[in-house]
Chains A and B, each alone.
Chain A
Amino acid sequence: MAREVSFSKSIDWPLFIVFMLFLCMGIANVYSAAFDPEHPNLLDFSQKYGKQILWVAFSLFLGFLVMLIDASIYRKFAIPIYIFCIILLVIVLFMPSVNGARAWLGIGSMGIQPAEFAKIGTAIALSSYISQINVNQQKMSTVLLANALVVGPMVLILMQPDAGTFVVFTSFLFVMYREGITYDPIILKLINLLPGVNFKSTWVGSHFIPIFFVVIFLSIVTLLMSNNIITFSFLPSVAIPGFAGVIGTLFVLAAISFFILRWISGRRDRNRVTLIVLIGFILTSTISSVVNYGFQGLASHQKDRIELFLGLKEDPDGEDYNRNRAMAAVGSGGWTGKGYQNATVASVQSNHVPESETDFIFCPLAEEWGFLGTMVFMILYMFMLVRIVIIAERQKSKFNRIYAYCCSLILFYHFAINIGMNIGFAPVIGIPLPFFSYGGSSMMSFSVMMFILLRLDSQRNDVLM
């Protein structure tokens, strides 16, 4: 067929090249991080770098298979694929626990983690479902079903437990936001229960996801600030307790936005603006209060955890051991790093940073290549993410577009949490850095995910899709 002939033209080379570049960098990095002077051969399959090469080779083989298969199969078999993933997630719960989690299916080192593949399955199922519905006529049932597709695997993953992958699954909420799946039907149902209220749509419902993340952000800020006493050098007698300061700041922000919004909005919207700002202020203050007083009411060990996470409490040799060591490794990189295979903190041999070849793989990279190295990585990764969004937006098929968004947001989540962990911006919840972390399951799942994307994109002109 003509389609097959033009394969090399239809593939998205920029994305493919970055993808391959990441695979090579990943191998080089694992070779450095896990280097054992007694087994210097890169292809020594008893070592992690040897195994990683095997995983990469196997992933490429899988990718080759994906490229041979017609892309329409994913859409057609979305439900079976999804159900298969769910079954695996259920089976894994009956497997023996490894390191406190029943995440592994299989024997020993040859096991796979179904949670990694469930991301692909969920992405396909979600893409398939959303592409079929009319987002402009959303019903309670469609919203609930779309959410159920995501929440189902999340619950099973939490039962393993695997907090990292659980958090990654919230990336699908962003995809739904992009596609206009709102929580309006649910919120309207609740609000319209009140007598005399009859909204057609609510701002909260349609922008639920960004609001959700604003709430998280607000909570963190509240917790960070409520322990402090705010003083001003020019007003020495004034000392505002932290929480009052938070509310005060919110009030000032609300006032500013009120005047700005009133100024830019038309006469018709004035009342609406007033209402929005008022509700916004009341809601944020309420959230802040709930977080603040809720935190006070927590048990002390829970408080410790949260304080540790927020960096309110330093415990470099205790619970915060990993993060502190990781940050020391990253921060000691300087401009150009300590040189390839010269990491002092983040090598597997020194073992100061535990899991430096898996979850903390960014440490050896940052320590050995310094700021220049991390910048190259950041730029390439940003390029990859934006490129996927561009690819998504050029798709004619809604299924393709949604799937591409799923890919970009999953990759983004892994990036944000994993790097955040290394630089003290995220709690240590243990998720791999795509294409870099040592491990078969993540390597295979991310590669297959990318190849499916490349395959879908290469067939974007097939009108039938």
Chain B
Amino acid sequence: MNFDSRKYVVIIFFVLIGLIYSSRLFYMQIIDDSWTLRAQEIAEKRVLITPPRGVVFDRKGKKIVTNRTYYNLMMVEENIKNFDTVSFAKLIGWSPEKVKYRFKEIVRGEGKYHSKITGKTTANYQKIRPYPFVKELTIDEMSVIAPYLENYPGFYEEITSMRSYPFSNAANILGYLSEVNADDIIEDKFYKSGDNIGKAGIEKFYEQELRGRKGVHYIVTSAMNNAIEAYANGKYDTIAKQGPALRLGVDIELQAYGEKLMVNKRGCIVAIEPKSGEILALVSAPSFDPNLFVGNRNITLNYPKLVLDPDKPLYPRPLAAEYPPGSILKLVQSLIGLQEGVITTESGFPCNKSIVGCHNHPMATDLKKAVQYSCNPYYYAVVRKIIHKGRKKKFYEDAEAGLNVWAKYMHSFGLGEKFETDITGLRQGLIPDSKYYDKWYGHLLWAFSTIRSISIGQGEVKVTPLQMANIAAIIANKGWYFTPHFVRAIGGQGSNPLFKKVNKTMVDPIHFEGVQEGMRRVVNEPSGTGSRARIKGITVCGKTGTVQNPQGEDHSVFLCYAPMDNPKIAIACIVENAGWGGSWAAPICKLMIETYLQGKVSDLLKEKSIIDANLLNVKKKKDKNTIH
């Protein structure tokens, strides 16, 4: 038998396997991408480098938000040896139970990972990886722990960056950072677990700018998860870029002074630069130190305290508290009346207390005096004329049309509307129109007499302190305003172009002079209600208000701007339960203006008495129904 032909069996066998293997290699290396992805999953790692957040300056260039070094106590489970829970807990100041719980918490917090390539779900936690065990330790805390860390293999310190607020003020403006939650991560791919995100104020509104750009570093990792080298020599890496610096219109010293004045009081101060719409100060009292909200440790510690505080320090009063404006609205009513032609600056109305209550004052024979004396019956008459101007023949239809015209005017003053601006937590207040009253009384079933309390700023009308300050700015500007805003510049660029848009009211500039003169008299004439705001050498124009408060003592309200001929600051101040407008709000405004314009205070005694005053517990209701 000859077996020579069997050599072909062998050769065919070789070639067959060679071809099969080559096709397989072709399939694996060229056609099927999944192995490439699997290789990336195995060996390549994107390391994200989070840049420090952008810093924030005030209008004078003072750094008011900055970054400070903190430490995380890191843990690599695989390296932990002879771990003594009790002594370690003592070192970091925890209970042993909390230490044990923390280990479990880290594992749970890492979640699970579903690989699309292998279709497997695995726990993300790996014993060989570092995880922060204790986060956000200050340098003082770390210096206590650090010397003993060598007794605990597997633990080491790592530097991290967190916010710091050198001035301890303006917490309500700046907001705070907090760790991202699951929704944040789903909403924006930028965030990874453990990142911080602005949760309020400037930090929230300018999150996109402040967070900067993350750097990506591609590295090749080993099976032990150590970085070996840069992937492709760093060809695909990007550099982390810090967010641009923000420059606020806020004057941090004025803000700090305002917060100091409002210590132990409830209320707020809003100061605006009329020419630019930039907010100079936005005090919400009681205020708190923004450093209380640095880091999640502090937040969990301090947040509940502040939330449970009966004086509600976290409530953004200047933005969200909707007060009846009281007499302050009379300024706007005057302007609307003049523009509508129902009154002139020389119009006089008797002070008929039988219609609406008033206090004793000389007869308001013209508009200036009406403003000066804040005569309630006068404005009853004015607003009735505005609303029942005879636009429609039928009485009720006339009321409806008139009220809508009036509401339109009010809207043009920024009232009853939310500003489109960089302030979070704004509320719009309320300017009732015909639809609003139709709901209450029914269509064409109401007239001015039904809604008359709006004429003196009571009743349904609601205005936020920011809107009040804006009224002062509008009057100072004679009829226009820039939307009130915080940020004047982002990095090298200007701010939102929206803030450069002039908002014109429906009242012509010519009508403002009478009102301005009235406001001057409020402060500077002997019988003016706001004489406590008088400043030597600076003409302050103001208007007091007293907001009736069914729950307790009236709120003291004052609105002003100064100097009269070249307005540089417009202020609204509300001190809750402090009585009539001239009593507390006016002198506080005076001190603010002095501080801002002159850098010093003339009456130190008065300043001291205001700072020392505690109005938190004044809630007693007096038998007083008059409105100033």
Contact = CB atoms under 8 A, between A and B. Distances in A.
Interface of A: 135-136, 174, 177-180, 210, 314, 316-317, 324-325, 327-335, 342, 344-345, 347, 349-352, 366-367, 370-371, 374-375, 378, 381-382, 385-386, 389, 392-393, 405, 408-409, 412, 416, 419-420, 423, 425
A423 B13 CA distance: 19
A316 B118 CA distance: 7
B5 to A, nearest CB: 10
B441 interface: no
8 contacts: A178-B7, A325-B42, A327-B28, A330-B25, A350-B220, A350-B223, A351-B223, A416-B21
A310 B507 CA distance: 86
A345 B42 contact: yes
Contacts of A412: 13-14, 17
B12 to A, nearest CB: 11
A374 B7 CA distance: 27
Contact of A331 (B3, B14, B35, B115): B35
B179 interface: no
- 5 nearest CB pairs, A to B: A331-B35, A332-B39, A180-B3, A344-B43, A331-B28
Contacts, number: 137
Nearest to B40: A332
A389 B14 CA distance: 10
Contact of A378 (B18, B39, B231): B18
B30 A366 contact: no
A330 B35 contact: yes
Given A331-B39, A335-B29, A366-B29, A405 B10 contact: yes
B26 A174 contact: no
A324 B35 CA distance: 9
Interface string B28-39: 111010111011
B223 A179 contact: no
Given A179-B3, A180-B1, A328 B38 contact: yes
A382 B42 contact: no
Contact of A350 (B1, B115, B221): B221
B6 interface: yes
B interface, size bucket = 35 or more
Contacts of A366: 25, 29
A382 B10 contact: no
A389 B12 CA distance: 11
A331 B228 contact: no
A344 B39 contact: yes
B38 A331 contact: yes
The A contact surface, by secondary structure, is helix
A317 B122 contact: yes
B22 A378 contact: yes
B115 to A, nearest CB: 8
Contact of A382 (B15, B41, B222, B231): B15
Give the most central of B6, B20, B40, B231: most A CB within 10 Å.
B6
A412 B17 CA distance: 9
A136 B32 contact: no
B186 interface: no
Given A136-B1, A174-B10, A350-B43, 20 more contacts: A316-B38, A328-B38, A332-B38, A344-B231, A345-B39, A349-B222, A351-B223, A352-B222, A371-B25, A374-B22, A374-B25, A375-B25, A378-B21, A382-B15, A386-B11, A389-B11, A389-B14, A393-B7, A405-B10, A423-B25
Contact of B36 (A324, A331, A392): A331
A342 B41 CA distance: 17
A327 B34 CA distance: 10
B10 A408 contact: yes
Interface string B99-139: 00000000000000001001110100000000000000000
Contacts of B13: 174, 412
Contacts of A409: 10
Interface string B511-555: 000000000000000000000000000000000000000000000
Nearest to B25: A374
B26 to A, nearest CB: 6
Nearest to B15: A382
A412 B11 CA distance: 11
Contacts of A370: 29
A416 B28 CA distance: 17
Contacts of A420: 21
B604 interface: no
Contacts of B220: 344, 350
Nearest to B34: A331
A442 B376 CA distance: 109
Contacts of B44: 344
A375 B22 contact: yes
Contacts of B222: 349-352
A135 B29 contact: no
A193 B412 CA distance: 116
Contacts of B118: 314, 316, 324
